[in-house]
């Protein structure tokens, strides 16, 4: 049929179709602009205080100055070792020394970058719909009656309790992310994110250490301990070997870089080895740094207070922390923003529950 209702022919149908298509688009909503809006990624509007690189593939904390210092120390110390010590050691002792050093160096760099550039286990914030839904469930009639919902009012801390292996664990409510944090999660004040199995925020790697990158962090500090001891031991070997031929002072003059390497390694090895030993203890007991500092499972809190996450076996605890499946990221930082998708709510007095994803909803289902 034709739009005029008369006996129009095919030419009028064609003209109507062309006019309709042309008039449906305006200068304010051109197809080019619509495409640009649809292609915007979630990392561009991420609510936390993080920096993203490579179109969202790399995620780091905002404060990365100490991380660059870590890179500089490792690169300079290792570079001097390979440039000034390894040629002599390879020629006078064995070519295996630079080969082993290279393997350790690349493993250290790989685990460092993997720790620094990955999502540590950030939990997605609640959307306004989720916050409003829980507010309807809980209700705030008492707050309204008391007039306590005035501007600047901050509700008292809210908790829920779950039972894990016979131990009662409290889930705390996060006023920033508007979720009830799952067990072992905590909010990082520097990155402004709730992180699953939060261990600590490490400025040396420029990122939080949590569920998704803890194993890489541990392998980094452990391999860095071996690399530091390795370089220090063979720098001393180099100096002693030279001093036997030309004297100690002549050996130092012939290889001044060795002195710098020995000083850096000497003052670094104690803290690095100590940190590796501390995290080895945490892994063997299936604890986090956050739990150990707070004394969450200390016997001083009572005889019935015990770690419900421990398997009561050192080997099983280590396998659980280092060899278990790596959980997927929950924030989908490289996903595209849909025009009708609600964004995470800004901090307010509202309440929400831990239910931004299906896996989170299943966890909340266990809350009494």
Furthest-apart CA atoms within the chain: distance in Å? 112
DSSP letter for each residue of 91-141: HHT-THHHHHHHHHHHHHHHHHHHHHSS---BPPPPPHHHHHHHHHHH--H
174 is catalytic: no
Quick one: which of 125, 121, 85 has its CA closest to 101? 85
Alpha helices in the chain (DSSP H): 10-23, 31-38, 65-80, 86-92, 96-116, 128-138, 141-146, 214-246, 248-254, 256-285, 289-294, 314-322, 358-364
Per DSSP, what are the bridge partners of residue 174? 179
Judge whether 206 and 60 are in contact, CB under 8 Å: yes
Catalytic residue among 194, 202, 208, 265: 202
CA 118 → CA 162, 264, 267, 316, 328, distances in Å?
30, 28, 29, 26, 11
Q: What is the DSSP letter of 51?
A: E
Rounded Cα gap, residues 299 and 293, in angstroms: 14
Q: Give 50: exposed, middle or buried? Use CB within 10 Å, 0-12, 13-18, 19+.
A: buried
Pairing of the two strands 159-164 and 200-202: unpaired
Per DSSP, what are the bridge partners of residue 179? 174
Instruction: Count how many Cα atoms sit within 13 Å of the Cα of residue 207 in the half-sphere of its side chain.
Output: 26
Mind telling me the catalytic residues?
Answer: 202
């Amino acid at each position: 049929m034709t739009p005029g209702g008369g006996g129009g022919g095919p030419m009028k149908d064609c003209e109507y179709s062309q006019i309709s298509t042309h008039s449906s688009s305006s200068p304010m909503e051109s197809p080019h602009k619509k495409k640009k809006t649809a292609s915007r990624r979630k990392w561009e509007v991420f609510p936390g205080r993080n920096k993203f690189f490579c179109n969202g593939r790399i995620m780091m904390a905002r404060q990365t100055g100490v991380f660059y210092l870590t890179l500089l120390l490792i690169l300079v110390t290792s570079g001097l070792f390979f440039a000034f010590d390894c040629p002599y050691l390879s020629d006078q002792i064995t070519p295996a020394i630079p080969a082993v050093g290279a393997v350790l160096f690349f493993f250290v760099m790989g685990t460092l970058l993997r720790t620094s550039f990955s999502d540590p286990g950030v939990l997605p914030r609640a959307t306004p719909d989720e916050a409003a839904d829980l507010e309807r469930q809980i209700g705030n009639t008492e707050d309204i009656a008391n007039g306590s919902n005035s501007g600047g009012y901050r509700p008292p801390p809210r908790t829920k309790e779950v039972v894990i292996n016979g131990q009662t664990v409290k889930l705390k409510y996060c006023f920033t992310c508007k979720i009830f944090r799952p067990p072992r999660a905590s909010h990082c004040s520097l990155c402004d994110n709730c992180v699953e199995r939060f261990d600590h925020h490490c400025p040396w790697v420029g990122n939080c250490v949590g569920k998704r990158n803890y194993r890489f962090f541990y392998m980094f500090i452990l391999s860095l301990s071996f690399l530091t001891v390795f370089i220090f031991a063979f720098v001393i070997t180099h100096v002693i070997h030279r001093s036997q031929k030309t004297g100690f002072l002549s050996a130092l003059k012939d290889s001044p870089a060795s002195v710098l390497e020995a000083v850096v390694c000497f003052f670094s090895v104690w803290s690095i080895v100590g940190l590796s030993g501390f995290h080895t203890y945490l892994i063997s007991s299936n604890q986090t740094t956050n739990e150990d500092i707070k004394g969450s499972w200390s016997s001083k809190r009572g005889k019935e207070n015990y770690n419900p996450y421990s398997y009561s076996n050192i080997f099983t605890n280590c396998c659980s922390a280092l060899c278990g499946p790596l959980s997927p990221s929950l924030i989908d930082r490289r996903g595209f923003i849909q025009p009708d998708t609600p964004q995470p709510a800004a901090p307010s007095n509202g309440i929400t529950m831990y239910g931004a994803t299906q896996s989170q909803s299943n966890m909340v289902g266990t809350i009494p």
